[in-house]
Structure 1
Amino acid sequence: MNSPKTFPSYEVARCPYPFYEQMRGCPVAPAGVGGEFIVSAFDDVSFVLTNPQIFSSASTYPENGRHRTRTVQEARGATSGGFVMLDPPVQAKRRRVARQILKADDINSLKPLIESTIDELIDEIEARGSCEFINDFAERLPARVVLTMLGLPMEDQDRAIGWARYDGRGTRFHPSERQDAIQGTLLDVAEYMKSAIVERYETPRDDGLSRFIKEHVAAEGEFNLVNVLSDASLLMFGGVTTTAHMLGNTMKIILDDPALHARVMSDAASIPLILNEGLRLESPVQWVDRLCMEDVEVGGVHIPAGAIVIVLLGSANRDEAVFERPDTFAFQRRQPHVAFGKGIHTCIGAPLALAEGKLALEKIFRRLPNIRYDDARNNFDTIGDTMLFRGLDALYLTVT
């Protein structure tokens, strides 16, 4: 079966769910792009994500600001690139380093910072009486938290927000002019982070980035600037955009449903469940890719070694074989989803993102009881220049 539309593409990314439903009729199929395959059903997605020895995460590699695919030979033993683009044992060692600044104790210690940042942003919204929620709140909260966590200047928050809009593994599917812009972003953040890393390596400070460098050197036995830079940049990218999309998507889900809105206002304890179901229904990251390291059969379909497999998280999370009425929001669900991935590459920042989301929604609905859509300004368009993410371009709200 050939996919009915080119994927990934802007056309599908803007409204992917009809495409996903069609693909689940033949859940493993050629992507219509090169020799790539799409995997769309929950069980097949889970199989790919939990068998890293067959499906390598070293599938693509950012090189001079551009993304290219790796061959099987290149993927074997790959050590360059961020830890999410590597395989065990290198991936496990580098992931452990990153976890040192995302431990439960550290996240708990960030709670006062998160709460004070939320209050500052709400104060600004309250003073204006309205906001564009994505830029004024959803992006600024995680950007300020990540910058503080790493010990980077707060005045760089706008730069961090711009960097975090980088399209990751979706980059190579964009037209050349968009790839040029993304290349500039990657080179800019690399230069910025390189300067901060070298400075802290030579003169350590009492901040997260200095600790991260120290742990990296201890794990690798040397100061490897390329690897430190790759992993530190991942913390910057991953800590902002997906959290912002989660907040924006969940806010829209709540405001679309008066009964759900009333529930949030009266029962803050329901917020973690609402966030969880929002992540399933509108997954911020819609897909990941893997490199097939050997000939294998998935869902009755032969996939040859060297093929790239596009794993549709957003489709798996709406698989009717797993979720009853999958297109309906039901926060009482108990089935696990794959919005944060599954297996050894499960999102390392998930606990921090959920903590930010919980505290943000609690305070927003407590402090801004009249929050609602600014009906004259919203068109509810999703981001138009992404292949990978699912989020709102803008969300205009009034609070008076």
Structure 2
Amino acid sequence: MAGTVHAQPYYDPFDFGIDDDPYPVWKQLRDSAPLYHNDRYGFYALSRYSDVARQLVNWRDFRSGRGTVIEVLLNGIEVPPGVILFEDPPIHDLHRRLMSGVFTPRRMAAIEPMAREFCRRALEPLAEADTFDFIADLGAWMPMRTIGYLLGIPEDRQVAIRQNTDNLLNLDRGEPGNVAADMLSRSGSMLEEFIDWRYEHPSDDLMTDLVNAEIEEVDGRRRRLTRGEVLTYAGTVVGAGNETTTRLLGFAGQLLSDHPDQRRALAADFSLIPNAVEEVLRYEAPSPVQARYVARDVELYGQTVPEGSVMLLLNGSANRDERQYPDPDRFDIRRKAAHLSFGHGIHFCLGAALARVQARVALEEVLTRWPDWEVDYGHARRAHTTSVRGWATLPVRVR
């Protein structure tokens, strides 16, 4: 997959070398090929902020209903019903209203103390250590704990679910199309026993809400969710919420190691942390590429993008566009700038508030214990997964 030399500009989302540092390639696309076509795979890509922001909300031309992951679209993989990320209006709007109940103010208020307690339990045994791993010791487990709380999954079963999720998304285990198909077919199966239990033993958790939820169809009829739909909804929450937040925490650890003055500013003033989280998201988007199916011929930059094509909206590139941000390759925790890392428009990430809470709490707890750390890049390892990018391991030396 990696290491192939091509004439520039060339962008290949399956090339691990490019994925590890896509920013030079993305800059070339923005400057010389703002509408890019990849001859090998046949997809198009938009990389400038103005184009990506505009087309993320243009669901009539750029559709999500056949998948928003390039592997799914290129391989014509059938998308199961109920995956809200892979839907268009009007059914998307009906399902989004249902799923918005996951992230109610009451549940968000309950998340913070639980997330903080998990951080303390995870970090306190490391108090005398001179190293810890942002992913292995914290980032890989904190999202699963909070999502496990939402869904009502016992802690002793969360480890297996987390490991299964990692395995399903890992591109190192096979061809991208096979990985994507396996991910879609198995994402909810690991939750079957918990969902079946909730049918007979309701509780105050999201699974019970889904089991009892009614949905209004487009024609106005109301019905209960099927068991398969409950599995799909719950699997979507687990998969999407786990991976993106894990990568966010890893990028935060890396960037604050690389910028020690800014890290020390955060340690001295926790009120700067929320804005720092936004800058981490802008600078390193955990989910930097959104794929769409082109529903009809579209004219862009004097060219026709034909119906049936695959379009990539490179929100990770848009976040570094010089046309939108001054000095965009400079990491600055005091920068106050919007970004596209949570998407834009009808598909704006439902879990954005949850991710922000987790990142803020994690940084507060880490900085309380270690105001200084340095990444051990010799032992750090990148993750290569479908639809997200970031660190698989990120060990740091603490002082």
CA distance in 1, matches of 2:180, 2:129: 33
- Counterpart pick for 1:19 among 13, 20, 25: 25
Instruction: Work out whether residues 61 and 69 of structure 1, in 8 Å CA contact, stay in contact via their aligned partners in 2.
Output: no
Q: What is the deviation of 1:237?
A: 0.7
Instruction: Work out whether residues 81 and 227 of structure 1, in 8 Å CA contact, stay in contact via their aligned partners in 2.
Output: yes
Q: What is the deviation of 1:10?
A: 1.9
The alpha-carbon distance between structure 1 residues 181 and 86, as it changes in their structure 2 partners (threshold 3 A), is closer
Instruction: Work out whether residues 95 and 215 of structure 2, in 8 Å CA contact, stay in contact via their aligned partners in 1.
Output: no
Q: Aligned AA for 1:207?
A: D
Instruction: Work out whether residues 143 and 246 of structure 2, in 8 Å CA contact, stay in contact via their aligned partners in 1.
Output: yes
Q: What is the deviation of 1:19?
A: 0.9
Instruction: Work out whether residues 212 and 224 of structure 2, in 8 Å CA contact, stay in contact via their aligned partners in 1.
Output: no
Q: Aligned AA for 1:280?
A: R
Superposed CA deviations along residues 311-362 of structure 1, whole A, max 9, x for unmatched, are 1111111111111111111223233110111010011101000011111111
CA distance in 2, matches of 1:159, 1:186: 18
Superposed CA deviations along residues 25-55 of structure 1, whole A, max 9, x for unmatched, are 2111212344311111111111210111111
The alpha-carbon distance between structure 1 residues 183 and 126, as it changes in their structure 2 partners (threshold 3 A), is farther
The alpha-carbon distance between structure 1 residues 27 and 200, as it changes in their structure 2 partners (threshold 3 A), is same
The alpha-carbon distance between structure 1 residues 31 and 225, as it changes in their structure 2 partners (threshold 3 A), is farther
Residues 353-364 of structure 1 aligned to structure 2 (within 5 Å): 353-364=355-366
CA distance in 1, matches of 2:162, 2:112: 21
Instruction: Work out whether residues 75 and 177 of structure 2, in 8 Å CA contact, stay in contact via their aligned partners in 1.
Output: no
Q: State the percentage of identical aligned residues.
A: 25
Instruction: Work out whether residues 161 and 190 of structure 2, in 8 Å CA contact, stay in contact via their aligned partners in 1.
Output: no
Q: Partner residue of 2:239?
A: 237
CA distance in 2, matches of 1:83, 1:26: 32
The alpha-carbon distance between structure 1 residues 186 and 136, as it changes in their structure 2 partners (threshold 3 A), is farther
2:52 matches 1:45: yes
Superposed CA deviations along residues 169-192 of structure 1, whole A, max 9, x for unmatched, are x97xx8845655666665554322
52-61 or 290-299, larger mean C-alpha shift: 52-61
Instruction: Work out whether residues 287 and 312 of structure 1, in 8 Å CA contact, stay in contact via their aligned partners in 2.
Output: yes
350-359 or 387-396, larger mean C-alpha shift: 387-396
Matched position secondary structure for 2:392: coil
CA distance in 2, matches of 1:208, 1:27: 42
Instruction: Work out whether residues 317 and 338 of structure 1, in 8 Å CA contact, stay in contact via their aligned partners in 2.
Output: yes
Q: Aligned AA for 1:211?
A: D
Residues 119-268 of structure 1 aligned to structure 2 (within 5 Å): 119-126=120-127, 128-165=129-166, 176-177=174-175, 188-216=186-214, 221-268=223-270
Matched position secondary structure for 2:117: helix
Q: Partner residue of 2:67?
A: 60
RMSD: 2.9
Q: What is the deviation of 1:144?
A: 0.8
Q: What is the deviation of 1:228?
A: 2.1
Q: Aligned AA for 2:198?
A: R
359-368 or 203-212, larger mean C-alpha shift: 203-212
Q: Aligned AA for 2:122?
A: L
CA distance in 2, matches of 1:8, 1:47: 25
Q: Aligned AA for 2:22?
A: P
CA distance in 1, matches of 2:75, 2:329: 36
CA distance in 2, matches of 1:55, 1:21: 23
Superposed CA deviations along residues 149-187 of structure 1, whole A, max 9, x for unmatched, are 10012112222322333676x97xx88456556666655
Q: Partner residue of 1:28?
A: 35
CA distance in 2, matches of 1:154, 1:390: 26
TM-score (norm 1): 0.87
Residues 291-302 of structure 1 aligned to structure 2 (within 5 Å): 291-302=293-304
CA distance in 2, matches of 1:181, 1:20: 25
Residues 314-353 of structure 1 aligned to structure 2 (within 5 Å): 314-353=316-355
CA distance in 1, matches of 2:294, 2:190: 34
Q: Partner residue of 2:88?
A: 87
Q: What is the deviation of 1:205?
A: 2.8
22-31 or 274-283, larger mean C-alpha shift: 22-31
Superposed CA deviations along residues 289-327 of structure 1, whole A, max 9, x for unmatched, are 011111112343321111110111111111111111111
Q: Partner residue of 1:382?
A: 382
The alpha-carbon distance between structure 1 residues 390 and 125, as it changes in their structure 2 partners (threshold 3 A), is same
- Counterpart pick for 2:309 among 303, 307, 310: 307
Q: What is the deviation of 1:127?
A: 5.2
Structure 1 unaligned spans of 5+: none
Q: Aligned AA for 1:191?
A: S
Q: Aligned AA for 1:30?
A: H
